[in-house]
Amino acid sequence: MPVVPPNISILPIPAIQVMSIGDVSYQTIQQSIGTYFYKINNIYIYASNLDQLLQPIGLKKYNKFGDKQIRILQPMIDPYQQSSALDQTMLGLDYIFDSNNGFYPTISANTSVNFQFSTTEISHQDYLQGVDNFQNIEYLQDYLNDF
Amino acid sequence: MKEGKIVLNVKNNFNFDATISLFGSKSDPQAGSLDAVTQYWWDITYPFFNVANFSQMYIEYKPLGGATFQLAYFNTYYTYQGILQGLNSLALGTFWYAYPTFIPSIGYQVYTTNDKIVFGNIGW
């Protein structure tokens, strides 16, 4: 049974920095989620290297049964294009920042990434609209798969 | 409903890849930016090369002085991650590598109110 000793290092402060480019800070946006929800329509990702652009992004979501689902979004570009940015459509994923869902980007070492989320701000009233008893409810409609 | 844009710049000062949670739950240990993190890193490249799978990899550590902490672990090739709390040792279960030529790198970030944790070794 091999034993490997760890390398211990103390990382700088902050180890990972999230900055909002705009008037409203990331913390303010984060805190406002709950008052408003943000439906993500499109993500524009810019990074200085190709490797970073191809990093997978985890989307965590809870379905209507309360089960956690994670979908790995794998950005794809033409490798010969040497592109430094890409557009990732979220069409059909129905993904909303609702303070419970998580967006897990993988950031390469010593790299910075720019995310531009095209959002639709949704109020509580609009967000909670769904199928009600006065509509035709199909049995097992959307069974399990909310993603 | 209003259309808008959220523009974020995320900078990683780590010397290794990291996964964080944006707009996630407040209880997420990786929510938002990460403050100072003590990193314990095991270079376990070589012994894994010829092993298709292994189980019960473990880390030994001792929480001292009743420190509360969370340990998040991740793998840079698999986005397999989790949180472990309040254990004296932990078993990571089974990792399985479909491509033995991958160099698996596993890092651990320790979130703690203080540094009163002594880490032991990793082994399997």
> pLDDT tens across A58-96, in order?
888 877 677 778 888 888 877 777 778 888 888 778 788
Distance from CA of A135 to the nearest CA of B (A): 23
Whether residue A42 is predicted with pLDDT greater than 80 in this model: the reply is yes
Mutate to test the interface with A, among B3, B7, B79 (most CBs of A within 10 A): B7
Interface check for B38 against chain A (CB to CB < 8 A): the answer is yes
Q: How many structural domains does chain B have?
A: 1
pLDDT at residue B41 in the model? 54
Token pair belonging to B46? 């070589």
Residue B49 in domain? yes
- As for the ipTM of the complex, it is 0.77
Residue B59 in domain? yes
Q: Tell me the pLDDT tens digit for each residue of B30-49.
A: 556 665 555 555 554 444 43
Query: Residue B56 is part of which domain span?
Result: 38-123
Residue environment code for A68-95, b if the CB has 16+ CB neighbours within 10 A, otherwise e: eeeeebebebeeeeeeeebebebeebeb
Please state which of the ranges A14-18, A41-45, A52-56 shows the lowest mean pLDDT: A14-18
pLDDT at residue B16 in the model? 63
Interface of B with A in 67-106 (CB under 8 A): 76, 79
Whether residue A135 is predicted with pLDDT greater than 90 in this model: the reply is no
Give the Cβ contact number of residue B57 at 10 Å: 18
Which contiguous run of DSSP H or E holds residue B35? Answer: none
Q: Tell me the pLDDT tens digit for each residue of B12-27.
A: 876 667 777 788 766 5
Residue B4 in domain? no
Residue B73 in domain? yes
Q: Provide CB contacts within 8 A for A140, sequence distance 6+.
A: none
Residue B29 in domain? no
Residue B7 in domain? no
pLDDT at residue A115 in the model? 94
* Domain residue ranges of chain A, discontinuous segments joined by +: 36-123
